[in-house]
Amino acid sequence: MIGIMLRRHSWQCFFSIDNYVKVELQENKHLAYDNSRKRIGLLKKKADGEFDKLSDTDKEVWNAKAREHNEQQPKIADLIINILRKNPTKSFDNVAVEIGNWCSPATIHQWMMSKEDYCT
């Protein structure tokens, strides 16, 4: 997933914006070379405005994705631990990708550091 949520703090909006940016970059290959923070930020801002224009039916797609995302929450800690047990040298960036960017690499690192039995 690309970046953070803008003005909203809802997962359905986040997923909609993330999808919009991915589609824009995919459809406009020339934009893929200009994926600077500024360019991505402009795409996210445009997508944020588009979310308000979606029909209730279209928004329901993103609501369902948000519900699915939230249902995974109780499993995330075990997933992270199992991933790192299989490969203790895996970076937190790669762990985040493997769990679908459910949380950031920094959050994973902070959480792991809080564990008494975690070796630094």
- pLDDT one-digit tens code per residue, 66-101: 898 889 889 999 999 999 999 999 999 999 999 988
CA distance 101 to 107: 11
> What's the CA dihedral at 92, 97, 101, 102 to 10 degrees?
-70
Q: How far is CA 93 from the centre of its chain?
A: 12
Name the more confident of 33 and 105. Answer: 105
How much is the mean pLDDT over the chain? 83
Q: Name the residue ranges covered by the structural domains of the chain.
A: 11-71, 73-113
pLDDT of amino acid 102 = 86
pLDDT of amino acid 28 = 77
Distance spanning both ends of the chain, measured CA to CA: 28
